[in-house]
């Protein structure tokens, strides 16, 4: 690793905002172009690069770079892009499932539709009974498609806390929806 890279990293670890601004200014355009080429989406590319820089600043005191700064930044953007692509793929898969279920559901009887509406209402009610943090974690996990590790990072919690909250939510939902299971 170059001496200038080490100096910038140490300055940022020491809460030097001007060093962080210099790093951001020097690398943002290159990383954005790279993310755009991987994602083929300018908005997502911008979000990815901003997320990488936000995480660097948030975790600056523990920030460790074992390769070159360039390799670290490009690697971080690449991994963030891959996470985004996986989430997009999950959302698309879910949307196809909903559309398929909806198309198949058009031939269902009125009693089936009424039961489905009842289940949806009961589910909304059961979710609303959860504590705010527990509900948010569960929704990020099940509806947002995030992994426990990603939720923990996003909310600043331990992974064990996230796992415990998801388990608590699932138990509550099983209890509340036992008539439908």
Q: With 70 as the cut, is the pLDDT of residue 49 above it?
A: yes
Predicted pLDDT of residue 107: 53
**Is domain 109-181 classified as CATH 1.10.10.10?**
yes
Q: Say whether 109 sits in a helix, a strand or coil.
A: coil
Angle between helices 42-58 and 69-105 (to 10 degrees): 130
What are the structure tokens assigned to 7, written together?
């100096």
Q: With 90 as the cut, is the pLDDT of residue 51 above it?
A: yes
Domains of the chain, by residue range, sit at 1-107, 109-181
CA dihedral 113, 117, 118, 120 (to 10 degrees): 140
Predicted pLDDT of residue 22: 94
- In this prediction, residues 2-25 reach a mean pLDDT of 91
Predicted pLDDT of residue 108: 56
pTM given for the model: 0.53
Q: How is domain 1-107 classified at the architecture level of CATH?
A: Orthogonal Bundle (1.10)
154 closest CA partner among 130, 137, 135: 137
Gyration radius of the chain's alpha carbons: 22
Q: Which residues of 144-173 are buried (b: 16+ CB within 10 A; e: fewer)?
A: bbbebebbbbeeebeeeebbebbeebeebb
Residue 103 pLDDT class (50, 70, 90 cuts): low
Predicted pLDDT of residue 104: 62
Predicted pLDDT of residue 120: 83
Q: With 90 as the cut, is the pLDDT of residue 72 above it?
A: yes
The reply to whether 1-107 and 109-181 are identical in fold is no
- Using CA of residue 14, residue 17, residue 21, residue 24, what is the dihedral sign? positive
What are the structure tokens assigned to 105, written together?
């559901």
Please tell me the distance from the alpha carbon of residue 49 to that of residue 33, in angstroms, as a whole number.
Answer: 10
- In this prediction, residues 3-10 reach a mean pLDDT of 87
Q: With 80 as the cut, is the pLDDT of residue 157 above it?
A: yes
Between these two residues, 120 and 70, which has the higher pLDDT value?
70
Predicted pLDDT of residue 12: 95
Between these two residues, 180 and 141, which has the higher pLDDT value?
141
Mean pLDDT of the chain: 86
Predicted pLDDT of residue 168: 93
């Amino acid at each position: 690793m170059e001496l200038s890279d080490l100096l910038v990293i140490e300055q940022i670890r020491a809460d030097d905002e001007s060093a962080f601004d210099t790093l951001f200014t020097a690398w943002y355009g290159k990383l954005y172009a790279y993310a755009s080429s991987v994602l083929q989406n300018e908005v997502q590319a911008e979000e990815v690069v901003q997320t990488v820089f936000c995480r660097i600043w948030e975790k600056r005191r523990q920030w460790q770079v074992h390769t070159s700064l360039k390799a670290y930044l490009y690697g971080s953007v690449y991994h963030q892009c891959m996470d985004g692509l996986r989430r997009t793929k999950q959302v698309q898969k879910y949307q196809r499932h909903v559309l398929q279920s909806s198309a198949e559901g058009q031939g269902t009887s009125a009693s089936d539709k009424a039961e489905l509406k009842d289940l949806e209402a009961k589910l909304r009610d059961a979710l609303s009974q959860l504590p705010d943090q527990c509900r948010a974690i569960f929704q990020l996990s099940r509806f947002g498609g995030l992994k426990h590790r990603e939720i923990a990072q996003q909310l600043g919690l331990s992974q064990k806390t996230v796992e415990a909250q998801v388990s608590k939510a699932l138990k509550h939902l099983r209890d509340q929806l036992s008539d439908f299971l």
